[in-house]
Amino acid sequence: MEDCQLFQNLLKKLELFFILSERVRHMPQKYLKLYRPGFNFQYRIELHKCLKNLMLKIVSQKDRKVRDLQVKEVYGWYLKKLN
């Protein structure tokens, strides 16, 4: 999966979100004010939980062609949910 740029982008977004969510958990008032407006934070938590589950399914897939197809579908799903 190291050679798949879409997968790496999704992984990076997931990592950054979980770092942010830990900061919010410890100091909610400070970080929620700095967080961009748009979707509420609870929506983003649920979205990233779903993204995590989908990525776990991708990682467990043995067939490379199916895995590449799943990565493209999940990336499209993620972008659609954010718009």
Cβ–Cβ < 8 Å for 77, 50 = no
Instruction: Tell which residue, 11, 14, 80, 79, has the closest CA to residue 48.
Output: 14
The 10 Å Cβ neighbour count of residue 64 is 10
**Average pLDDT over the chain, rounded to an integer:** 85
Q: How confident is the model at residue 36 (pLDDT cuts 50, 70, 90)?
A: low
Mean pLDDT of 8-30: 84
Which residue has better confidence, 40 or 9?
Answer: 9
pLDDT of residue 67: 93
